[in-house]
Amino acid sequence: MDLGIAAKTAIVTGASAGIGRAIATEFAQNGVNLVLVARDADRLSVTAKEIGYRFGVEVLPFAADVGNLGEPDRVVASAMERFGRVDIMVNNAGRACAGGIMAASEAEWEEMTATKLSAMRRFCRAVIPEMRQRHWGRIVNVSSIGGIYPNYRLMVSHAPSLEL
Ligand SMILES: NC(=O)c1ccc[n+]([C@@H]2O[C@H](COP(=O)([O-])OP(=O)(O)OC[C@H]3O[C@@H](n4cnc5c(N)ncnc54)[C@H](OP(=O)(O)O)[C@@H]3O)[C@@H](O)[C@H]2O)c1
C-alpha cells in the first residue's frame, strides 16, 4: 500500500517484535527512514539490519527502556542528529499485563504506567514543537481495545490506555 510518506522519518518504539516490527516494515516499504527502539539491543540490531537491507532505507537502532525518564528525549535527540527531523512518532512499546487492583503488583503498575502513559507523553512533548514548526507531523499511540472497553481483570493494562 502506498502511504504517500516516502523520505519521511519515523520513530517506532517497541519495534523489534510484533506490531511495532510490522509497522516499521510497512514504513520501510514506503521509503521511510527509521529510528527503532526496544530494550534488547541484540534483537533490535537484527531487526534494524534486516529491515534496512531489505528495503534500502536508513535504520538507526536505539536500545532503551522508554519508561525511563530521559530516554524519550535522548531518542528524539538522536533522531534529529541523524535525520534532522521526526515526521512520524509511533508510541507502541509495551506488553499486556493481567491483573486488577488487588492482583497486580506495585512493580507491574509502575511498569505499565511508565511504559505506556509516561513514555507516550514524553515522546509527544519531544516531537510536537518541531512538527508544529514544519506544519507536518503524525503521532500514532498504540493502545488497547481496553481503552474503549476497560476490563477490571486487566486494569493494570487498561487504565494507562484510557486517555490515549
Ligand atoms: N498483541 C495484542 O493483542 C495487543 C492487544 C492490546 C494492546 N497491545 C499493545 O500493542 C503494543 C505492541 O504489542 P505486541 O503484541 O506487538 O508486543 P510484543 O510482540 O511483545 O512486542 C513488544 C515490543 O515492545 C518492546 N518493548 C517492551 N517494553 C519496552 C520498553 N519498556 N521499552 C522499550 N521497548 C519495549 C519489545 O522489545 P524489548 O522486550 O526488547 O524491549 C518489543 O519490541 C503494546 O503496547 C501492547 O500493549 C497489543
134 CA → ligand 1 middle, Å: 30
Contact by Cβ (8 Å): 27, 12: yes
Cα 112 from Cα 94, distance rounded (Å) = 7
Residue 1: pLDDT band (50, 70, 90) is confident
CATH code for 9-161?
3.40.50.720
pLDDT at 159 over 90: no
The DSSP symbol for 109 reads: H
Give the pLDDT confidence of 84-102 residue by residue, as tens digits. Answer: 999 999 999 999 888 888 8
Give the pLDDT confidence of 17-44 residue by residue, as tens digits. Answer: 999 999 999 999 999 999 999 999 999 9
User: In the chain, how long is the greatest CA-to-CA distance?
Assistant: 49
Predicted local confidence at residue 99, as pLDDT: 84
- Closest ligand 1 atom, residue 96 Cα: 47
Contact by Cβ (8 Å): 52, 58: yes
133 CA → ligand 1 middle, Å: 31
Residues sharing a CB contact under 8 Å with residue 92, sequence separation 6 or more, in sequence order: 12, 13, 14, 15, 19, 20, 23, 140, 142
Ligand 1 and 96: CB distance under 6 A: yes
Q: Which three cell numbers stand for residue 123?
A: 515522546
pLDDT at 163 over 80: no
Give the pLDDT confidence of 134-147 residue by residue, as tens digits. Answer: 999 999 999 989 88
97 CA → ligand 1 middle, Å: 11
Ligand 1 and 88: CB distance under 6 A: no
- Residue with CA at minimum distance from ligand 1 atom 42: 14
